[in-house]
Structure 1
């Protein structure tokens, strides 16, 4: 009888309750593949988009985009990893909510010894997202100012530290005073409680009316229009998520009226599709962590059996930092 792995799958789009756990068979890796035994699994907002149907998947389908563990076997042509290596990844297709899996090896990265499996599982998708926002989307330099929404979340706390390490002023937003304090403690220069302040007015005040060089917005519908109003002329709007819902269609003429603004909808997996780029981004992230510039904060842990509770907490915005599923 073939070995199996407990795996979270869903058969129909919907709320957290549509997820269930089943035993799925594990095979041997083919050319360009490996088999990895997970030690920890990362939780991300994109998982909820896929489960809800906002990002459609062929059903039934497993969930999860990042994890860390130990390589058990490699297929022909895999040279950057070998059995027994510690490894971590963020990649398509979904399937990380499992004890073990066979997957393409190109986007799986060697995990440095000083970085724990939990840290690896919590940092790959979020940390490489920050890497491309700051280094691969628009030129940013020391002294620039960015507005970052959801600054106390998993991506946000990494972004706060990353900005501080590179001399970039980061103005964050969050939904409570406690979350604002958390962002400030992690390197944000300012943090705006959007429930008690108008973030557009406050950003204008903080920048002397000039606006920011770039906005990094994963919230989507609720913040998009205000984010454009926070930009200086020729500023860059990076819309990289839809936590509050998808952004409605945009009249491109508005970008000209507001100061010849630039708008992009970047996706991490476009960058990670190239093996060399993926490994380079991971090494950059690992270097930040090993140097102490970035600390990976894990504030919530759920056993795999409680994945429904984990999704409910994430969507209710009850989480801070990163969340991992334990095995």
Structure 2
């Protein structure tokens, strides 16, 4: 699984497991139905988000050892329309990603399915179609469904199907709109705080709801890949472990203390069941924290391409650099770059190896 190296260290094949695309037909739906002009403006400015020929060429020229598992960029289908429209939007997205994979198999060998999360019966059908007919190797969900938590019982069948029937991972992407203000007397969040700090917070909240609702207790085989290496959890692990051990001590009636009695192990152990990706802006110290929290077997290489100041290559390059700075063994590097992702997607190989 490794290629020859000119510097004594093997050049590992790398699976970029979390990056984003907008298939052209889906991008047209975004432009027609999105109510967020800022998001549309941002997407239009990123050529490698929707010009996949240019992106495939960039990868071939600059990163020949990298293949990308495609995931749909925000906005998700349920953000563009109601439950009567979102199933068709998801179908367009998934058909588009499957077409990209068929056209550029050396750079984009597989994709992750988008789901219409505001229509659970349709989401289950689209999940089956995308995985069984199109070859998707997992599904993507947003940390909330138009403001509703993922641990709402309505959404449980989706996670149950992924854990027990398809046995493939769930990619969880954060979202918090700019219309959610940071202070009560303001109409909007300022300085893009809603994204830079708000999205890791949203990831951490969604993980917490999954843990304390008992979702991971009920679905021990569920595999969830968290964007930005678990949000806040690795950095605040000590605080989370010590304070949640006292859950219920701050509530007026103390009723939340019963939550701990329903869990068969300490809360922090459930948080370590998640997987974290390496999308940390190239920060070696942040990645070191994530590796210490999740362990090398639960971290996967990812770039967030093309959402970087260079519009594509920077996060790939800096993400690789952050891994190389860890001083890991060849065995652990191969896990981060290749092995962990193959196991999650239940693939023996991917692309040219």
> Normalization by structure 1: what TM-score?
0.27
Which protein is richer in strand relative to its size?
1
Q: Which of the two has greater helix per residue?
A: 2
